[in-house]
A = this chain, B = another copy of it.
Amino acid sequence: MTTPRWLSDDELTAWLRLRAVTMLLPAAIDGQLKRDSGLTEFEYYVLAMLSDASDRRLTLSDLASRTNSSLSRLSHVVRRLGEAGWVTKATCPDDGRSTFAVLTDAGMALVESAAPGHVEEVRRRVFDTLSDAEREGLSVALERILSTLDPAHHLTRDID
C-alpha cells in the first residue's frame, strides 16, 4: 500500500454525514416499528414482501434475496414469525427442496396496521426535510454508490 489518499474536507464532511445517517436512520425507523407494532424493521419487511406476493407466499430463498438476508437468519426469523401466528409454511409443488413462507390473515392484518405509521415515519425522517431538488440529488448520488454495492439492483427493484 502506497501512502493513502486521505479524504479532503468536503469528502470528510460527506462521509461523516453518510455514516451518521446509516447509523441513525435505521434506528429511528426500527424504533417506530417496535414501539407501534412490536416488529423489527426486518420482520416488517419480511411480512411486507409476503403481503405483496401472489398468494401471499414466497420461497425462503426468494425472500432472502429480496430482504438481503442470509438463509439462516431468515429461517430463524420465519420460525419466530410462525410461532407468533403471522406466517405458516407450505411445501413447494415444483421443487421439493423449496419451502413457501405464507402470510396468514393475522399477519396480513398486522402489516396493514403497521404500514401507515411506518410510511409516516419515513416521511417525517426523510422526505419532509428535503426539497424536490434535494431528494433528486440524494437519489442520484445513492444510485451511483449502489452501482458497486448492488450492481444487479436486487434491493431496489421491489416494492415497499
Contacts and interface: CB of A to CB of B under 8 A. Distances in A.
Nearest to A155: B20
A118 to B, nearest CB: 9
A16 B141 contact: no
Nearest to A147: B129
Given A115-B4, A135-B14, A144 B122 contact: no
Contact of A145 (B126, B136, B137, B146): B126
A140 interface: yes
A138 B18 contact: yes
Interface string A105-141: 0000000000111011011111101101011111111
A139 B12 contact: no
Oligomer copy total: 2
Secondary structure dominating the interface of A: helix
Contacts of A23: 68, 155
Interface in A70-91: none
14 contacts: A7-B127, A7-B160, A10-B132, A10-B136, A20-B149, A21-B142, A21-B145, A22-B25, A24-B68, A130-B141, A130-B145, A134-B137, A136-B137, A137-B138
